[in-house]
Structure 1
């Protein structure tokens, strides 16, 4: 087994933070650092490896658009062409090179001290990972566990005090790296909005056993498939709550931050019969990466995703997207790609509005309306914002209280959408 020296790991970390991703991967895989590319972006598709062989960047997943065969969901092409559980690189699905996994875990774990998610006013960093969440009289916020063939994950369910037995909508909230359900609930204040609007909230929790930094594995091919891996676990939790409580089955929604935002995009793309709308904050489009290497590339400069090919897909799931234009962890172009994939070539009428939050942050809101005039896509570009939940509470980690209230805007957008009764899964 290859041994990675501390010096090599430090150098690989430095190269990665400078965007020289191919060089970092080559160093960790024992090939030595690749020469810098002329454009300075670290993309060296033709750089020679040991022995003079080419070391091209492997192609990223190109998701197939919705069709009658897939039931309206995005899906990975040619899935049947390779043995089950094997990704294009020949490794078991979900398995990544140990050196690259270690680097990504280190990068995700840098947090407020490492600069990946730091420098934002009101941001409280990793100290809030176990933030206490107040529960008003009559409400409950209990921890549970869901398990299926893909494994098990904990989750927390918030039942608002306003629940009286009548059907309510359900919102699924996916936290970011190093966060927890409690931390995410505290930072987004979604429980408070559950009392105001009247809905249940479920917070799936990632474990360190599944990812050392508790990131959702949005970049693994097997974790981007309907009824496989993490999607099956999150959908399973959703359906469990729908079976136990009087959930309005036409009004189930999902949202997330960063890795959780990327996973929310995957869930919306693969379960359009389950979720009526999606909220993606500082995340990436479904299929933006297929493994660790392409994950780094996508985070730095966007991924190669479907949905940009005009005429190949029908309109996707209604989505509301937030992204800071100073985000150095997940490049802002990824927000554009989420919107492009959700639009899927549909002709929308767009409206652009400029505004400023009560905290002084300027933003641009672009609303896409369908032929009936309904807003089916919203994109919020947060000017001067980094990698943090806009308008969140400083009690939670990775929040920027200066920005417009992303939680409130998501809740408002969600309540305007329903899954057609004939397609509810």
Structure 2
């Protein structure tokens, strides 16, 4: 039996145990299935047995890492929940203001953080919406990507919506649920309405609005690009999936390992994709699926460039597609040897890899070439 068939069989078996009134047995089956699929590590053998974990150590750091119990990995990213920034890896959150906020609309309520540059505005500012991955929050994602400091150089606002644990206990955006994949519904509607409110309140440039995300956040950024092309001028997907991938958690988990053929997006929003070819959580083929979704219909009329290089100690292959006027409409960075992490990220945040090209810098440079 194929591994994915066995995984689905176990999921169905867990559902039968729920119907039989035995949720404890159902949980055991699910945990065993996730462990066998490589999406969860076994829990510690004893609750009082501490294990030393060093999360994203700073280069050359000598202080002892904190002691913590081993926790199961998240079934959506393979990361252990509850990771915190280390005291020897200070966060670079930029010289501007990092404001707490909350937004509500008929579809729901979400908190957010907004970075406002310290430098004086020379006109309406561009706005970048950054969607964190599972187990992360706005502060963690800002620290790991260091997007605030890069945005400061270009006078950009940066909005970090934050998933609520009441909506997903691992803080994942629910990209795999049909109700969260459509315009005017669920989380896409909340994020689009939040973006419009920030545009109005801060006098940002409605022609230069962009969305980027990591993992589950990348999958949700794909949905925003597909469902709201009149709002987002370009999108950036890091280690994520195409819009509409998966119709429930089981099919979503399957897609993470076995990328399906995507439904073409109605309008070709420019897209930049980053993915590690050693990503064992979200298969790198999903990055290629995102490219096909947003640029497939235009591929025949675009010129392709290919570059092999080395940045920060990691090799990469960069492919770029331009239109007849030379504008970049699609770009794909395959980072060799990198796993499920933000390329060129900072140790102050989780799910980062300090090696390789700087995804934050490259994404923002790509974004600022485009305006609606």
Q: TM-score, normalised by structure 2?
A: 0.81
Over 3 Å counting, the alpha-carbon distance change for 1:257 and 1:136 in structure 2 is closer
Q: Which residue of 1 aligns with 2:285?
A: 333
User: Which residue, out of 392, 395, 403, partners 2:348?
Assistant: 395
Equivalent residues of 1:105, 1:212 under 8 A apart? no
Equivalent residues of 1:352, 1:367 under 8 A apart? yes
Alignment of 1:261-300 (within 5 A): 261-300=218-257
Q: For 1:214 and 1:161, locate their aligned partners in 2 and report how far apart those are by CA, in whole Å.
A: 30
Q: Which residue of 1 aligns with 2:118?
A: 161
Q: Which residue of 2 aligns with 1:343?
A: 295
SS at the partner of 1:193?
helix
Over 3 Å counting, the alpha-carbon distance change for 1:16 and 1:224 in structure 2 is farther
Q: For 1:237 and 1:132, locate their aligned partners in 2 and report how far apart those are by CA, in whole Å.
A: 29
Over 3 Å counting, the alpha-carbon distance change for 1:31 and 1:301 in structure 2 is farther
Over 3 Å counting, the alpha-carbon distance change for 1:388 and 1:295 in structure 2 is same
Q: For 1:118 and 1:290, locate their aligned partners in 2 and report how far apart those are by CA, in whole Å.
A: 20
The alpha-carbon deviation at position 196 of structure 1 amounts to 0.8
User: Which residue, out of 361, 366, 376, partners 2:314?
Assistant: 361
User: Which residue, out of 272, 275, 279, partners 1:320?
Assistant: 272
Count residues with an aligned counterpart.
Answer: 329
Cα shift readout 1:264-322 (whole Å, capped 9, x = no counterpart): 00000100000000000000000111111110110111134212xxxxx7661000000
Q: For 2:2 and 2:159, locate their aligned partners in 1 and report how far apart those are by CA, in whole Å.
A: 34
Alignment of 1:3-402 (within 5 A): 20-30=6-16, 126-128=83-85, 133=91, 139-164=96-121, 166-307=123-264, 316-346=268-298, 347=300, 348-358=302-312, 360-402=313-355
Task: Show structure 1 runs of 5+ residues with no match.
Answer: 1-14, 33-97, 308-312, 420-425
Q: For 1:349 and 1:22, locate their aligned partners in 2 and report how far apart those are by CA, in whole Å.
A: 42
Q: For 1:410 and 1:239, locate their aligned partners in 2 and report how far apart those are by CA, in whole Å.
A: 21
The alpha-carbon deviation at position 133 of structure 1 amounts to 4.7
Over 3 Å counting, the alpha-carbon distance change for 1:201 and 1:220 in structure 2 is same
The alpha-carbon deviation at position 180 of structure 1 amounts to 0.4
Equivalent residues of 1:160, 1:200 under 8 A apart? yes
Over 3 Å counting, the alpha-carbon distance change for 1:21 and 1:304 in structure 2 is farther
Q: For 1:227 and 1:267, locate their aligned partners in 2 and report how far apart those are by CA, in whole Å.
A: 11
Q: For 1:151 and 1:99, locate their aligned partners in 2 and report how far apart those are by CA, in whole Å.
A: 29
Equivalent residues of 1:285, 1:338 under 8 A apart? yes
Q: For 2:367 and 2:189, locate their aligned partners in 1 and report how far apart those are by CA, in whole Å.
A: 22
Over 3 Å counting, the alpha-carbon distance change for 1:135 and 1:383 in structure 2 is closer
Cα shift readout 1:92-127 (whole Å, capped 9, x = no counterpart): xxxxxx969x769995899976567679xxx99812
Q: Which residue of 1 aligns with 2:363?
A: 410
Segments of 4+ moved more than 2 angstroms: 15-21, 102-119, 127-137, 163-166
Over 3 Å counting, the alpha-carbon distance change for 1:259 and 1:127 in structure 2 is same
SS at the partner of 2:153?
helix
Cα shift readout 1:209-231 (whole Å, capped 9, x = no counterpart): 00000000000101011111000
Task: Show structure 2 runs of 5+ residues with no match.
Answer: 19-25, 44-52, 56-70
Over 3 Å counting, the alpha-carbon distance change for 1:387 and 1:161 in structure 2 is same
Over 3 Å counting, the alpha-carbon distance change for 1:147 and 1:108 in structure 2 is farther
The alpha-carbon deviation at position 27 of structure 1 amounts to 2.2
SS at the partner of 2:224?
helix
Q: For 2:128 and 2:199, locate their aligned partners in 1 and report how far apart those are by CA, in whole Å.
A: 11
Cα shift readout 1:74-109 (whole Å, capped 9, x = no counterpart): xxxxxxxxxxxxxxxxxxxxxxxx969x76999589
RMSD: 3.2
Q: For 2:10 and 2:103, locate their aligned partners in 1 and report how far apart those are by CA, in whole Å.
A: 37
